Structure 1
């Protein structure tokens, strides 16, 4: 994916492109940080091997929010924001009608509540929303925090939510503060009493549900923010639960839990799946080979895991390596090989071969030595088929005999390259 072909200019203002069409979709010029999938138009020579005035697709975003592209020579390339214009798909820049209606309805309910409050007709009502929905004007409530300037269980109005999703508010001493990764918190939206009553009441937790730990009161060793599955009913505490990350089981009380969101459950399951792929483990690539971000990797080949928690703009991935190259895969794209199979692969790789890649001149042992005077040792002559090798060995009468034996009954003793008696052979 280098420069894009077929990008058409739709609108220009003062000589600058403001809207284009590509692959049947419209893209508008936007400001701010890049997003994966944006179109990138270099306007200076700030890229290494990208052509000024040509369009490219953002395949990634770096930690500073700058776009990463595949340039004209197929390498990852990036530059500072002032060196390029960004164009974003119109459907991504503008919410759908359904999304706008949903958002407007919630905003209207919030306004209704504000009016009713001013008239003294309503008590504050809040509904819990997903953290990803948070915006200025919503509220954040901390369940657990190490910040002395924040009061737990108090509602703080959100001042802003940045492009990374970080929530900012004014704390108890009047300073700007934010919800950190060390805090346990929930996000709420203020609504009218009628709307709050219309909201479906949260069901009580039951066996089979997923929950998030928000307190540690009953002696279990779960940590705050752990996602757990309730696997059995208890008495006091209420549930026997299993932690998704490692399968550890403890008893917990319902008062220590809140229902986990779909997003939290998905993240926990993904983390548990990635945790199986330890650093140094051998894996077989099942899918995605030859495509970004697995360029240079082939399906069916075996690779090594270098990191199982690689943070990327499209989520967390498993980093695999081969011959100095790095690739990124999801757990479902990889097959974790058993230790015994991995050790066998390592043994053959040490001599530059695939598993069971026998060559002429190899000294091998056959696991049924009855027919051979040499106790089952022989020399490889040639490969008979994918599953059989022809070897030469002395039979019980002292004659050299050629026999065809299955590969799975052979064991390599000495590779041909290591035999002193064949050093001068061509």
Structure 2
């Protein structure tokens, strides 16, 4: 929880707060070290998003004696358990809470009934969820509002001990509908005792199904030729975002790509446009071929950038002279619509996609680069030195 509201002073001595009430419980001033569930009073920490004189709730204390709590913007903060800028207040075990404590609890309950402290829940008790990104499967048990903050609203789970929790932003709902052939799935940690060739995090498509396992094909490179079968508990349904990301990084035979990194043999250079001629092998290498079929090579997905089929030829034409599409230079020879078709491009100026060109009759025209057709790049003109 961030900076606390509703903390009421119960006792003071010589101007120093010694006891407070919060949410129906009393807290007494305590000695360091600070402990889990203490309220801490900021007396001298002037960092941004921390308020002098405000109370904060300690979420946990780690094995390195670092205290965790949330600041005014719900961002996590760490302080040493002996930090004198914060004074700890520890809950008092009492049979009969004071009037101030009872009033504080009543005010908290009223605020909840009014909806002032009733946040909208993404999930409900009993929901099956999986962790992001490790895929751990959990069953939500009960709310733990004292830990709300950095990771969203907090829940305890049936699989966790009573003092461990997950935030709603850390998990996603698991659909109960079983996976079927043609569905996309994500590999999650599981007992890999059948030699499955994949790894947690891989996005796959289901190709076949048996009683306790699925045959898979990976989308992000490689087909698990060794063993594509995975047990049912090793897969969860992939989200649309996960599938889209995997497809963007995956090529099918017949796709076109631009080489943007090194290739296996080094025969095809950066900038060349190629066609995918074979699926990725077990090492993730795709077989690639120049558009005219004059050479082939192999490349990882990270060395390839997808190109639309209808744009491959034009990109390849420009790439062969070391330029991007419609990248004109001063002195290029181009054709234009109209009676004066030959001109020198860019000898006067070039602004964005608009070319300023000089006709051979001495006049000038302006036009968009997309309307021009390159006849001869300046580098190949024999009439210039």
The TM-score, its normalising length taken from structure 1, stands at 0.30
**TM-score of the superposed pair, with normalisation by structure 2:** 0.33
**Greater share of helix residues, 1 or 2?**
1
Larger Rg: 2
Higher relative contact order, structure no. (Cα contacts within 8 Å, ≥ 6 residues apart): 2
